[in-house]
Amino acid sequence: MFHLPHSSMSGRLLVAGLLGAWLALGAGAARADLWAFIDAQGVTHFSAEPLDERYTLFFRGQRFDTERDAAGALAADTDVNNPGVALAARARVQAYFDILPAYKSVRPHLRRAAERTGLDYALLKAVIATESGFDAQAVSPKGAIGLMQLMPATAERFGVAATGARSLAQQLHDPAVNVPAGARYLRHLMDLYDGRLDLALAAYNAGEGAVLRAGQKIPPFKETQNYVKTVLALYRQLQPLVPGDLALAEPSSRIRMTLPAGRQRQSFDEKQ
C-alpha cells in the first residue's frame, strides 16, 4: 500500500490527480526522477531529465507503470517492499528546501497567496522552484520576470501595474507582488481547465493558446512536457509529512549537491 500525504479524502483525490497528470504525459513504465544543478549564484535548477552535462541526479523516483488505474499503488511515491525509503526521500527533499535562504525569505508570501487563491502551498513551492529556483531577480530569455516568471503582459492581466516609483519590471522583481499575481494566474488556469493540473501547468509554461491548439492537451513541446513532469515530481515530494513518517523512514545512500565555494554548503543524500 502506498503512503498518502493525508488520510482524508482530499489526500486520496490529490494522489489520484497526480497519477492522472502522469497518465496524460504518456503510457508505459517511467521514472519520476529529478535532476538539478546549482549555478554560480547558488540558484538550484531542476529538471525531469538532464538537460546538459551540468545536471546531476537529485532524486531518483521509483519506477511506476502509467497503465495502472488511479486505485492502484502510486509507485512513484513508494517502494512497496520498503516504504521507508520513499518517506526518507521526501524528508530529505523538504529539508533541502528548508535550508535555502531564498526560500525562507519568501515563505510568508507563499502562505498568503495559497490562502487567498485556494491553491496548495506545496504546489506554489514546486512551481517557483521549477520556474526560478527562488531567485527573485531571475529574467528568462523571453522576458519572464521574478519568482513565478511572469511575462509583463500576463502580470498586467492579473493586476500588476507600474507605479510612480517603480516600473512594471521592478514590481515583478518584488516577491510581494510577483507571488500573488502568479498565484492568481495559476488559479485562473486551474479553473479554466476544470482542475486539470497537468493542463494548467502546460498553459502556465507554453500559454493557453498552445494548449488550445494542441486540442486541450499538453503541447508536443519537449520544454513544456519536461516542465510539467518537473513540477509534478517536486509537488509530489513536497507533500507534508505527517507525525510518525520520520520514524518509518530508512537511511539511504547518497546523491550529493553542494553550493559553490563561498556560499553556505548544502548536500543532499538519496538512495539510488
Q: Quickly tell me which residue has 507534508 as its cell.
A: 240
Catalytic: which of 49, 67, 115, 131?
131
**Torsion, Cα of 71, 235, 251, 52 (10° steps):** 120
Residue 154: CB partners within 8 Å, gap ≥ 6?
A: 185
Cell of 122: 506545496
Give the whole-angstrom CA distance, residue 21 versus residue 197: 7
12, with CB counted inside 10 A (0-12, 13-18, 19+), is middle
139 DSSP β-pair partners: 145
CB 213 within 8 A of CB 219: yes
CB 261 within 8 A of CB 26: no
Residue 131 annotated in active site: yes
Residue 151: CB partners within 8 Å, gap ≥ 6?
A: 142, 143, 144, 145
Contacts 24+ apart (CB under 8 A), 254-257: 255/56, 255/57, 255/58, 255/59, 255/60, 257/36, 257/37, 257/38, 257/44, 257/56, 257/58, 257/96
Active site (catalytic) residues? 131
